[in-house]
Amino acid sequence: MSPTTSPDPAREDRIRSLSRAHVFTSWSAQKAVDPLPLAGGEGARFWDHAGRTYLDFTSQLVNVNLGYQHPGLTAAIQEAAGRITTVAPSFSVESRAEAAAEIVALAPEGLSKVFFTNAGAEANENAVRLARLHTGRQKVLAAYRSYHGATAGAVSLTGEPRRWGSEPAVPGVVHFWGPFLYRSEFSASTEQEECERALTHLRRTVEAEGPHLVAAIILETVVGTNGVLAPPEGYLEGVRALCDEHGIMLILDEVMVGFCRTGTWFALDHWGVRPDLITFAKGVNSGYVPLGGVVMSEEIAATFDDRPYPGGLTYSGHALATASAVAAIRIMREERIPEHVTELGERTFGPALRALADRHEVVGEVRGLGAFWAIELVGDRESRAPLPGDQIERVKGACLERGLWPMIAGNRVHVAPPLVISDEDAAAGVAIIDEALAEVAR
């Protein structure tokens, strides 16, 4: 696939100059950052103004699930813009009503209403607010290996180091360790041990904080940025049982993994667990228009039948955004995206990525499902010490030279391409990572 426009280096230079002068880039030291200006994209590839094309293994920020410029999705947005572009939450609009109905239909039974937001961070903020108001409690437990967003409340929920710059945090958040056998905090040697010991640790944390004071436990169903960590069998069920025992709300953050990233509509479908609240964003409409939301249980929704919910957003359920969500869900059904992603994981990514561990000593572990994987890179397999940063940069550089845009997170290469990627392109991307690891080893 080639760029649809001619190379225009002068335009690239102008964009770079304007960006450096006027755009404040997130999570970056401003003097060091120099983002690549993009000119276009199609399917699982994008290109720059110099005519260089890259196979995308990032989906931008794990959100472009239907790929770049999907004709059905762009046409739906254009059609919606011809009807009405924006409608305040105090009115109703067809696309908002239809999007809510479609999303609820995909959620577990008993979750009946959607509060729309503009993104995942706002979704997590409002999920916590809903849980606190419903229970009358204030404390919220969240895992250390987690990222829930960068707004004040969401970054307080976040357990990883990106929260440090925003501390002191919003009060009431308590962190705990979730399961991760490869780097176990519980000296476990099997998945079963890890699961049991992680659940015991969580129970003891709840007991130490006062179960009657805990409003919610929030978890990424599959931990994303912090390692692509799928929970061991029995863990989510155990958390659900603990929540039921003490009247605690279970919030599952599906912002990154919802809408077919792991091969099911919601990742929670793999484990059959019913949360009280689900947060979503990113993949619901492939990020074409900002959109997120909270799916809530009938019980929580009923709390606000006769009392107002003290929260709102100007663009809650934005007409163009929700129209794109309706179209995206329809396209995912028609193109059998859940089935395709499941097959990608089982037939292509799983075998090909695991084979890397057999060929390269720097690969400590490969894990994932569907179109969501992590390659953990280590300097020494026995100690599991992370591969040094300069060698990680060499891996990245070798991928870029070969036309693959990789996702680097810490000492890991994450694999999260658009879900429309073909088997052939998926295999080609893994082959480039294979070559990059070999080059670093040399």
Q: What is the pLDDT of residue 255?
A: 98
Residue 359: φ, ψ to 5°: -100, -20
Q: What is the pLDDT of residue 1?
A: 56
Residues 79 and 165 in one domain: yes
Mean pLDDT, residues 347-355 taken together: 97
Q: How confident is the model at residue 191 (pLDDT cuts 50, 70, 90)?
A: very high
Q: How confident is the model at residue 4 (pLDDT cuts 50, 70, 90)?
A: low
Structure tokens at 435: 């070559």
Residues 286 and 220 in one domain: yes
338 pLDDT more than 90: yes
Rounded CA gap, 209 and 217, in Å? Answer: 12
Q: What is the pLDDT of residue 290?
A: 98
442 pLDDT more than 90: no
Mean pLDDT, residues 283-300 taken together: 98
Q: What is the pLDDT of residue 2?
A: 63
Rounded CA gap, 110 and 278, in Å? Answer: 12
Residue 387: φ, ψ to 5°: -60, 135
Digit-coded pLDDT (tens) for 383-440 = 999 999 999 999 999 999 999 999 999 999 999 999 999 999 999 999 999 999 999 8
In a domain, 433, yes or no: yes
In a domain, 2, yes or no: no
Q: What is the pLDDT of residue 6?
A: 83
In a domain, 434, yes or no: yes
Residues 258 and 167 in one domain: yes
Residue that finishes a domain, picked among 334, 360, 393: 334
Range of the domain at 15: 9-69+336-441
In a domain, 29, yes or no: yes
Per cent of the chain over pLDDT 90 is 98
Q: What is the CATH number for 124?
A: 3.40.640.10
Rounded CA gap, 226 and 258, in Å? Answer: 17
- Strand partners for 117: 292
Residues 211 and 348 in one domain: no
Residue that finishes a domain, picked among 292, 308, 334: 334
In a domain, 1, yes or no: no
Residue that finishes a domain, picked among 274, 299, 334: 334
Domain count of the fold of the chain: 2
Mean pLDDT, residues 92-116 taken together: 98
Q: How confident is the model at residue 441 (pLDDT cuts 50, 70, 90)?
A: confident
Q: What is the pLDDT of residue 3?
A: 73
Residues 6 or more apart in contact with residue 240 via CB below 8 angstroms: 250, 273, 274, 275
Q: What is the pLDDT of residue 336?
A: 98
DSSP H or E run through 427: helix 423-441
Q: What is the pLDDT of residue 25?
A: 94
Digit-coded pLDDT (tens) for 136-148 = 999 999 999 999 9
Residues 56 and 150 in one domain: no
Q: What is the CATH number for 346?
A: 3.90.1150.10
Residues 349 and 322 in one domain: no
Residues 214 and 343 in one domain: no
Q: What is the pLDDT of residue 221?
A: 98
Residues 375 and 347 in one domain: yes
Residues 324 and 293 in one domain: yes
Digit-coded pLDDT (tens) for 7-64 = 999 999 999 999 999 999 999 999 999 999 999 999 999 999 999 999 999 999 999 9
SS3 string of 48-70?
ECCCCEEEECCHHHHCCCCCECC
Residues 124 and 163 in one domain: yes
Residues 40 and 156 in one domain: no
Residues 6 or more apart in contact with residue 38 via CB below 8 angstroms: 46, 47, 48
- Tell me if residue 392 falls in helix, strand or coil: helix
Mean pLDDT of the chain: 97
With 0-12 / 13-18 / 19 or more C-beta atoms within 10 angstroms meaning exposed / middle / buried, residue 75 is exposed
Neighbouring C-alpha atoms within 13 Å toward the C-beta of 242: 25
Residues 169 and 220 in one domain: yes
Q: What is the pTM of this model?
A: 0.97
